Amino acid sequence: MHTIRQDIDYAIRTFLKRPVFSAIAILTLTVAIGVNIAVYAMVSSVILTPLDYPQAGYLVKISGAGRGAGGRALNLSRPDFRDFERANRTFETMGAFDSYIGAVTITGFGEAERVKAVAVSGGFFPTLRAAPELGRLIEPRDDTENLNTGVISYGLWQRHFGGDPAVVGRTMSVGRQSFVIVGVLRSSFHYPRPEMQGDPDLYGPMWSDPGFTVRSTRNIRAISRLKANVTPEQAQADLRSIASELERRYPADNYHAGVVVQRLMDAIVGDTKPVLWLLLGATLCVLLIGCANLANLLLAKGLSRTKELAIRSALGASGQYCSLKYLDVVGIVDGTGGGSVARTKREVAHLALDAPWHLATAARHDSFFQDLGEHRLMKRFSVLRGE
């Protein structure tokens, strides 16, 4: 402890004697480390963090593909999806949802409110293994029985219904239709379409729409859960054989109508992944440059202290001790700065996120909308800084 106290006293005296040098050294480390924390937090949230669904590695997205699509993913028709659902041999469950989110007005409880609504199939929630907060979710029997059932989000339940636990079983009016509320989703559930800012508040059964039998209308998207030991490539081969049979049976509607299977994580992140890895590599280069600049500053400072170090060596100081004296000002003064320096790094991290903010949030709204200060790396760094 006595040696540490001496080092701190020495570092403070040196800092006061050469404040410009010490400030430049600390600022160099602050910028380099702050930018790296920011970008790593973004890469961790978008790429390294699994999707917020149970066993998300088994989830895949199913898209249509056809001539003239230019490689773009297309929607599926509802009859094609039903055929895939019945004939496939590689999926545990399959779910479908509308390719658009509509806006509807709900009435019957207090003031009317405009909310986002989407139609989903009975396999949608089982595929994602979502659990209700209250009641139940839309199930496969809602498809076959053509029930006007509805599931509301946790936010709508709290906002419009005041968190009333007796809301299950009540009837609400949605436009000209009436829906029975059968369940409330948990607050942790996120709709698997990150490009839509905000989750829907109302989920209704897809097959209550009388137009679902039109094969040429392609307006749904599909997600599926692979069986154990089945790869996306095997699932795609399975669906392609079914698609070929559908093309033979319905040549007018399914001419060159192919299918593409890809992991849901890859479908959500998309082209963002290589960009973020490139950004992380660039910021690591910034850190290396900062370290190199700091090393040059320390060497330059060391040249001005040759007489002092020679005296210390003559008095019996070891070479290791003399070398560590180079780092006292930067290391110990930065450490005694503790909270203020760590907060400065955090501000630099927030500033570094401004440019790629939309890039990351467009890819993973389920994990990136969080305070950077809550990130694990920032917490560990703050502890090390003594904050």
Over residues 329-381, the pLDDT tens digits come to: 455 444 444 444 444 444 444 444 444 444 454 455 555 444 444 444 444 44
pLDDT at 378: 46
| Nearest residue to 191 (alpha-carbon basis) of 274, 117, 135, 290 | 117
Cα–Cα distance measured from residue 153 to residue 201, given in angstroms and rounded to the nearest whole number: 5
Give me the numbers of helices (H) and strands (E) for the chain, helices first please: 15, 12
pLDDT at 337: 45
Task: Determine how many CB atoms are found less than 10 A away from the CB of residue 13.
Answer: 11
Three-class DSSP category at 103: strand
Residues of the chain with pLDDT under 70: 1-4, 7-8, 10-11, 66-73, 145-146, 194-197, 207-212, 302, 304-305, 318-387
Report whether 152 contacts 106 (CB < 8 A).
Answer: no
Strands 113-120 and 202-205: parallel
Residue 92, Cα to own-chain centre: how many angstroms? 25
Taken in order 366, 370, 374, 380, the sign of the CA dihedral is: positive
Looking at residue 230, the DSSP 8-state letter turns out to be -
